Chains A and B, each alone.
Chain A
Amino acid sequence: MGDLMGTIETFVHALFGPGISARFLPSFFPFTEPSIEFSMTCIFCEGTGCSVCSKTGWIELGGAGMVDPNVFLAVGIDPERYSGFAFGFGIDRLAQMRYGVDHVKTLWDGDVRFLEQF
Chain B
Amino acid sequence: MRAPLSWIRDFTPLTGTTGEIADALNQLGLEVEEIDEPGRDVRGVVVCRILDVVAHPDADKIRLADVDFGDGTTRVVCGAANIHAGMVAPLARIGATLPGGFEIERRKIRGVVSEGMLCSPRELGLGDDHAGILALPDDAPLGTDVREVLGLDDVVFDLAITPDRPDAMGIVGIARDLAAHFGLPFDAPTPEESAAAESIDGATVVVEAPDRCPRLVARIARVRLAASPDWMQRRLTLAGMRPISNVVDVTNYVMLERSRPLHAFDLDRMAGRGIVVRTARDGERMVTLDGVERSLTSEDLLICDAERTPRAIAGIMGGASAEVSGETREIILESAHFAPHGIARTSKRLGLRSEASARFERGVDPDGAGSGADLAMRLLAEVAGADVVAGRIDAYPEPVAEGGQGADPAGQRRPRDRSGFGASELAAAATGHGGGAGSRRRRGVRVGVGPDLPARHRA
Contact assessment for A1 and B426 in the assembled complex, using a CB-CB cutoff below 8 Å: yes
Give the 5 A-B residue pairs with the shortest CB-CB distance, closest first: A28-B162, A26-B29, A2-B429, A1-B429, A24-B444
Assuming the contacts A26-B451, A28-B164, asked whether A33 and B429 have C-beta atoms less than 8 A apart, the reply is no
With the chains together, A80 CA to B420 CA distance in Å? 8
A66: Cβ under 8 A from any B Cβ? yes
A-B pairs with beta carbons under 8 Å apart, 16 shown: A1-B429, A2-B428, A5-B437, A21-B438, A24-B441, A24-B445, A25-B31, A26-B28, A26-B450, A26-B451, A28-B165, A33-B416, A33-B421, A34-B421, A36-B445, A69-B416
Interface residues of B in 125-174 (CB under 8 A from A): 162-165
The residue among A21, A26, A37 with the most chain B CB atoms within 10 A of its own CB is A26
A83 at the interface (CB under 8 A from B): yes
Encoded as 1 (CB less than 8 Å from any B CB) or 0, chain A from 48 to 87 comes to 0000000000000000001011000000000110010000
Cβ–Cβ contact B28 & A2, under 8 A = no
A22 at the interface (CB under 8 A from B): yes
Assess whether B328 is interfacial by the CB under 8 Å rule: no
6 additional A-B pairs beyond A21-B440, A33-B452, beta carbons within 8 Å, are: A1-B428, A25-B31, A28-B29, A28-B163, A68-B421, A69-B416
Residue of B whose beta carbon sits closest to that of A18: B436
Q: Are A2 and B433 in contact (CB under 8 A)?
A: yes
A24, B26: Cα distance in complex, Å: 10
- Shortest distance between the CB of A26 and any CB in chain B (Å): 4
Q: Is A110 an interface residue (CB 8 A)?
A: no
Q: Is B419 on the interface with A (CB-CB < 8 A)?
A: yes
Partner of A83, one of B165, B420, B426, B429: B420
Are A1 and B441 CB-contacts (below 8 A) given A25-B27, A27-B162, A33-B452?
no
B349 interfacial by beta-carbon distance below 8 Å = no
Q: Tell me if B26 and A25 are in contact (CB < 8 A).
A: yes
Q: Mark A71-105, 1 if CB is under 8 A from B, else 0.
A: 00000000110010000000000000000000000
Interface size class of B (residues with CB under 8 A): 20 to 34
Residues of B within 8 A of A79 (CB): 419
Q: Which residues of B contact A (CB under 8 A)?
A: 26-29, 31, 162-165, 413, 416, 419-421, 425-426, 428-429, 432-433, 436-438, 440-441, 443-445, 450-452
Chain B nearest CB: distance from A39 CB in Å?
Answer: 9
How far does the alpha carbon of A66 sit from the alpha carbon of B450 in the complex, in Å? Answer: 13
Q: How far is the CA of A70 from the CA of B163 in the complex (A)?
A: 17
What separation, in Å, do the CA atoms of A79 and B443 have in the docked complex? 29
In the assembled complex, how far is the CB of residue B367 from the closest CB belonging to chain A, in whole angstroms? 23
Contacts of A66 in B (CB 8 A): 421, 425
Which single member of B419, B433, B450 contacts A34 (CB below 8 Å)? B450
CB distance from A48 to the nearest CB of B (A): 14
CB distance from A87 to the nearest CB of B (A): 15
User: Residue on A with the closest CB to B427?
Assistant: A1
User: CB-CB contacts of A1-43 with B at 8 A, as 1s and 0s?
Assistant: 1101110010000000000011111111010011111000000
